[in-house]
Amino acid sequence: MGSSIAGNRRASGLEKIRSHMDKWLGLYVGLMIVIGLAAGYRDVGWVQHHVQALQLLEIASIYVMIFPMMLMLNVRALGSAFKNYKLVLAVVLLNFAYGPLMAVLLGGLFVANPFARFGLFIAWLVPCSSMSIGYVGLMMADISAATAMVALSFILSLAVIPLEASLYISVMVHQVRGVALTGRAVSSIEVGLFMTIIEVLLAPLVLAIPIREAMMRRMGQARFREVSPLFPTLTMLGMMMIIFIIFFAHAGVLISHIMDVLGIFYSAMVFGTVSLTVLTVLFKYVGLNKRGESRYGSAMVAILTGVPKNEATAIAISTLALSSLGPQAAFLTSMPPSLLPAFQVVFIITFLKLRDRVMKYYGERGVEVIERGRAAEMGILEAARGAMAMLVPVDFSRGTDEWVVNGLGRLSSYARIGRVRLLYVIPLGLSEVSEFITDNIISEGRKAAEAKMRELVGAVRSKVIGLGGVDLDYEIVVGDPASIILDRASAGGFDAIMMGHRGYGYVEDLFVGSVTLKVVSRSPIPVVVIRKSV
């Protein structure tokens, strides 16, 4: 038990760091920009004498930012990417057609400098990141489809980004008044783009795939999940580091391009508002779902893997691709993707906080089945080729008996349930309190949980029709709830998890750390989420 608690403490600590970074990413990006500008403008002479050192630090930061992101990319999800061709088409068009076209339109309206416009184009050409999977989970939509779309978009981007960026350069940049690019310069940029894709995307991906597989074999899935929050944290730290370096090294240049900064701000505001509003309405009437599926789930996957962008990758590409034209051109190109994370976070938070209203707009209510569109393949409808074994974590909060009865009743109406295990985790595995918990406290907690569990078992047996021959038991353990639930799911023996969700707002779900969200995002088996009545 000691090693388990130690593992839970490590996982809890990493989760807290990651949650903190997610919560305050926009603020930290803004601080890096302000501090970098202030320090760089104050020490222009020092910057000029250490250009090479700053360039080396910039490159190092890029790889710190990119490689952990590659470790989190689930390439295996590509196998399920093409089960819904309408969703695939929508995500591809949003990432590689709609985003670039909006960059051309809004950049032409609001941004004067052609290099800054090109940076905006790169920022909205680069597809989504793995954070989109978390966004989809928060919207109670199809996690598995989102994982497949993220993997597919990234693989396609290896070819699409250099091709579309080269087309943009040949058609737009060298024809702009005031920018004289020779044919040799254009060719140099195009070669730089292809080499940058190879250096910062393809090579790290090729290296990360076997490393990820080796780590999972050596550590096991449960331990890999414990350390996995470290990877996005490193990516965010690397991104903040490179943003600081970019603005520190080019503070003097930025001051003279303040109107372009405002233009990027206006472009981001229009892009975020129009995209999220129009696409939410559009996909309600132009359904991306397969027959028998909810339009809401597919719509949220398309929107949240098509509109948010992987600005970390965009920063890396824009920083290196135009380096042949000198540091000023490279800085102006990297400026838009460096500024956009602060704006993007605002729009995504706002959209996620409107989740319940969006669900109501789509007619979603009551029971939400995560991965509903792939239920038959994954085991929700035909689990275990027969009777389904369900793991049902509970917390004894108000309304627990209602959502358990409601959920099992609904599931038993279209799938045969053979076994149900109610799981209660006494949440005493947190590092802040576990050292102060005595055996007497744990014993008292178990006694209280036993009494409540017996009441719950009785209620379930008496109220759910169709559970007469079901093997219904329970388990009470001590530890971190999310880690324990995921361990039980990984150990086998269950076909699906059913969990309750109170329907709180985005802030409570993401910032406080929803157990349901963590399980939905990382479970190796399907998860059914039942809306609790509050």
* Nearest alpha carbon to residue 439 among 426, 455, 424: 426
Per cent of the chain over pLDDT 90 is 12
Whether 285 has a pLDDT exceeding 70, the answer reads: yes
Q: How much is the pLDDT for 251? A: 76
355, with CB counted inside 10 A (0-12, 13-18, 19+), is buried
Q: How much is the pLDDT for 302? A: 92
The confidence band for 271, taking pLDDT boundaries of 50, 70 and 90, is very high
- Say if 501 falls within a structural domain: yes
CA distance 85 to 105: 28
**Does residue 403 share a domain with residue 336?**
no
DSSP state of 201: I
* Nearest alpha carbon to residue 503 among 473, 464, 534: 534
Residue type, 412: S
**Does residue 470 share a domain with residue 337?**
no
The helix (H) or strand (E) run that includes residue 388 is strand 388-394
Compute the Cα dihedral for 151, 322, 171, 191 and give only its sign.
negative
Hey, is 381 helix, strand or coil? coil
**Does residue 104 share a domain with residue 137?**
yes
Region 33-44 average pLDDT: 83
Hey, is 37 helix, strand or coil? helix
DSSP state of 176: S
DSSP state of 1: -
**Does residue 398 share a domain with residue 276?**
no
Q: How much is the pLDDT for 138? A: 66
* Nearest alpha carbon to residue 383 among 263, 497, 232: 497
- Say if 5 falls within a structural domain: no
- Say if 130 falls within a structural domain: yes
The confidence band for 237, taking pLDDT boundaries of 50, 70 and 90, is confident
pTM of the model: 0.64
CA distance 220 to 213: 10
Q: How much is the pLDDT for 236? A: 80
* Nearest alpha carbon to residue 395 among 493, 262, 532, 275: 532
Q: Which of 362, 391, 426 is the last residue of a domain?
A: 362
Token representation of residue 531: 């809306």
Q: Are 134 and 229 in contact (CB under 8 A)?
A: no
Region 46-55 average pLDDT: 77
CA distance 250 to 255: 9
Continuous H helices in 178-257? 183-197, 203-227, 230-249, 251-255
Q: How much is the pLDDT for 332? A: 84
Region 468-477 average pLDDT: 80
Cross-strand pairs, 528: 369, 498
Hey, is 471 helix, strand or coil? strand
The confidence band for 56, taking pLDDT boundaries of 50, 70 and 90, is confident
Give me the domain span that covers residue 149. 13-362
The CATH code of the domain that includes 483 is 3.40.50.620
Who has greater pLDDT, 469 or 159?
A: 159
Least confident of 119-133, 270-284, 332-346, 361-375: 361-375
**Does residue 94 share a domain with residue 208?**
yes
**Does residue 406 share a domain with residue 336?**
no
- Say if 6 falls within a structural domain: no
Least confident of 34-48, 143-157, 273-287, 441-455: 441-455
Q: How much is the pLDDT for 384? A: 43
Q: How much is the pLDDT for 80? A: 59
CA distance 234 to 247: 20
Q: What is the dihedral of CA 11, 525, 69, 302, to 10 degrees?
A: -130
Q: How much is the pLDDT for 431? A: 39
The confidence band for 507, taking pLDDT boundaries of 50, 70 and 90, is very low
**Does residue 494 share a domain with residue 427?**
yes
b/e code 107-116 from CB counts within 10 Å (16+ = b): beebbebbbb
Who has greater pLDDT, 246 or 486?
A: 486
**Does residue 339 share a domain with residue 216?**
yes
- Say if 7 falls within a structural domain: no
Per cent of the chain over pLDDT 70 is 75
- Say if 3 falls within a structural domain: no
Q: Which of 327, 362, 397 is the last residue of a domain?
A: 362
**Does residue 408 share a domain with residue 343?**
no
Who has greater pLDDT, 278 or 260?
A: 278
CA distance 505 to 516: 13
The confidence band for 367, taking pLDDT boundaries of 50, 70 and 90, is very low
Q: How much is the pLDDT for 9? A: 47
Q: Are 471 and 420 in contact (CB under 8 A)?
A: yes
The confidence band for 281, taking pLDDT boundaries of 50, 70 and 90, is very high
Mean pLDDT, the chain, rounded, equals: 76
Who has greater pLDDT, 99 or 413?
A: 99
Whether 344 has a pLDDT exceeding 60, the answer reads: yes
Q: How much is the pLDDT for 274? A: 93
**Does residue 410 share a domain with residue 316?**
no
Residue type, 407: G
Q: What is the dihedral of CA 91, 96, 101, 103, to 10 degrees?
A: 100
Residue type, 433: V
**Does residue 326 share a domain with residue 435?**
no
**Does residue 250 share a domain with residue 106?**
yes
- Say if 368 falls within a structural domain: no
Domains of the chain: total: 2
The CATH code of the domain that includes 121 is 1.20.1530.20
- Say if 1 falls within a structural domain: no
